[in-house]
């Protein structure tokens, strides 16, 4: 069945560090891939999506490129800020009757 | 204004009491969802609704039921709440298979 794997449970960085959060998926065809961010006490918020091979999604300095060859959609940001501290979820959709499959989430902690 | 609302935001109930969580959206989205989120467990799908009176079980439906009598409103009901249903509950909606989900702010339910 469809699934998403996020490798890192937690990432700790200092401000201005480069961020990578790994996301790999398992699904047939071309699912839509999403990144969401969740701040404490709030619901997840949509960051961006991609739905074709080699398509890049981006928002607020974050970006990810859909790679069907490696079944990946890794989240990157060149220079993180303390305000980026949150939980980041990779998700897959476009299949399976409107269901969305979420990864387990990655807690990002950015120290000033 | 594109928004998902949830009421109440906080709720404390005793074991065995009935619980009603309400969700509304102002975007005329056909598809709506109920999730629960426990520490370290990410988002677990309880129910999905494809439109009025068209609901389907998610991954953890046991102990829950739903009602959708109007497109903009989706309720989650716990008949005889249990302590292990203490959690944060999120409602979400979306308009299509490749579209993003809009999440509500969540309801923090404590069952004593």
| B30-74 pLDDT, tens digit each | 999 999 999 878 999 999 999 999 999 999 999 999 999 999 999
The residue among A27, A30, A43 whose CA lies nearest residue A89 is: A43
How large is the average pLDDT for residues B25-33? 95
B92 touches chain A (CB under 8 A): yes
User: Binning pLDDT at 50, 70 and 90, where does residue A96 land?
Assistant: low
Nearest chain B residue to A41 by CA distance is: B105
Region of poorest pLDDT, from A25-29, A47-51, B37-41, B70-74: B37-41
Residues 6+ positions from A35 with CB-CB distance below 8 Å: A23, A47, A48, A49, A57, A62, A64, A73, A75, A88, A89, A90, A91
Structure-token pair, residue B74: 């989706």
**Separation of CA A94 from chain center:** 16
Is the CB of B100 less than 8 angstroms away from the CB of A105? Answer: no
Higher pLDDT, B41 or B28: B28
For residue B79, the Cα-to-chain-centroid distance in whole angstroms is: 14
In total, the C-beta contacts within 8 angstroms joining chain A to chain B are 53
What letter would DSSP give residue B27?
S
What is the C-alpha to C-alpha distance for residues B19 and A38, in angstroms, rounded to an integer?
Answer: 26
B24 CB near a chain A CB, below 8 Å?
no
Q: Do B31 and A105 touch (CB under 8 A)?
A: no
Cβ atoms B68, B52 nearer than 8 A: yes
Q: How many Å apart are CA A62 and CA B62, to the nearest integer? A: 38
In this complex, which of B4, B43, B106 lies closest to A102 when CB atoms are compared?
A: B43
- B36 contacts in A (CB within 8 Å)? none
Across the interface, whether the CB atoms of B98 and A43 are under 8 A apart is answered no
Mean pLDDT over B4-14 rounds to: 97
Bridge partners of B88, per DSSP, are B37, B108
Is the confidence at residue A70, as pLDDT, over 80?
Answer: yes
């Amino acid at each position: 069945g469809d699934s998403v794997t996020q490798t890192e449970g937690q990432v700790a960085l200092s401000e201005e560090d480069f961020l990578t959060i790994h996301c790999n998926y398992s699904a047939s065809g071309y699912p839509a891939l999403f990144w969401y961010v969740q701040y404490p006490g709030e619901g997840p918020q949509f960051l961006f999506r991609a739905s074709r091979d080699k398509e890049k999604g981006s928002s607020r300095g974050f970006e990810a490129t859909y790679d069907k060859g490696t079944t990946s959609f890794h989240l990157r940001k060149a220079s993180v800020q303390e305000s980026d501290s949150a939980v980041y979820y990779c998700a897959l959709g476009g299949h399976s009757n409107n269901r969305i499959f979420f990864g387990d989430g990655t807690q990002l902690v950015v120290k000033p | 204004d594109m928004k998902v609302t949830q009421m109440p935001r906080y709720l404390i109930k005793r074991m065995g009491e009935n619980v009603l969580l309400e969700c509304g959206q102002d975007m005329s989205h056909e598809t709506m969802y109920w999730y629960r989120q426990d520490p370290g467990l990410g988002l677990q799908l309880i129910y999905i609704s494809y439109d009025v009176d068209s609901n389907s079980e998610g991954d953890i439906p046991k102990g829950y039921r739903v009602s959708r009598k109007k497109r903009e409103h989706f309720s989650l009901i716990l008949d005889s709440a249990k302590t292990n249903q203490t959690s944060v509950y999120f409602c979400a909606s979306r308009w299509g298979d490749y579209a993003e989900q809009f999440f509500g702010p969540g309801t923090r339910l404590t069952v004593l």
